[in-house]
Amino acid sequence: MTAEHLTLLLPSDLRSMRIVCAKCHGSLSIRLNETVRVPNDCPVCGQAWKDGQSSGSATAAENLVNSLKSWLSIEHEKKPPFSLQFEIVNTP
């Protein structure tokens, strides 16, 4: 017999997004109740996080969090006919 432990997160469980610099590993935590704007550069080492284009990875991160915020608003106000759950990896 195999036992499996499953951990699910609801969007309402999320409080903030942590952005970690690939160069220096410095991080910035942005609360999800704020408008999410990823800085142009790492606040620790100055590594460019935005390349000046509107469709870069920093913009995709902003879009992801702002989409989650939109979902939370819909969930709170309109009670959609389904829910979202995120499965996370469990390490022993």
What's the CA gap between 39 and 41, in Å, rounded? 5
The answer to whether position 56 is within a domain reads yes
Residues of the domain holding 77? 16-83
Say if 91 falls within a structural domain: no
**Could you give the angle at the alpha carbon of 32 between the alpha carbons of 27 and 34, nearest 5°?**
100
SS3 69: helix
2 occurs within a structural domain: no
Provide the domain count of the chain.
1
> Is 59 a member of any domain?
yes
* 26 within domain boundaries: yes
pLDDT tens string 64-86: 888 888 888 888 888 889 989 99
Q: How high is the pLDDT of residue 27? A: 93
- 87 CA to centre of own chain: 14
The reply to whether 38 falls in a domain is yes
| pLDDT tens profile 14-57 | 888 899 999 999 999 988 877 778 888 899 999 988 876 656 78
pLDDT for residue 56:
75
Q: What is the pTM of this model?
A: 0.70
Residue 10 included in any domain: no
- Residue 9 within a domain: no
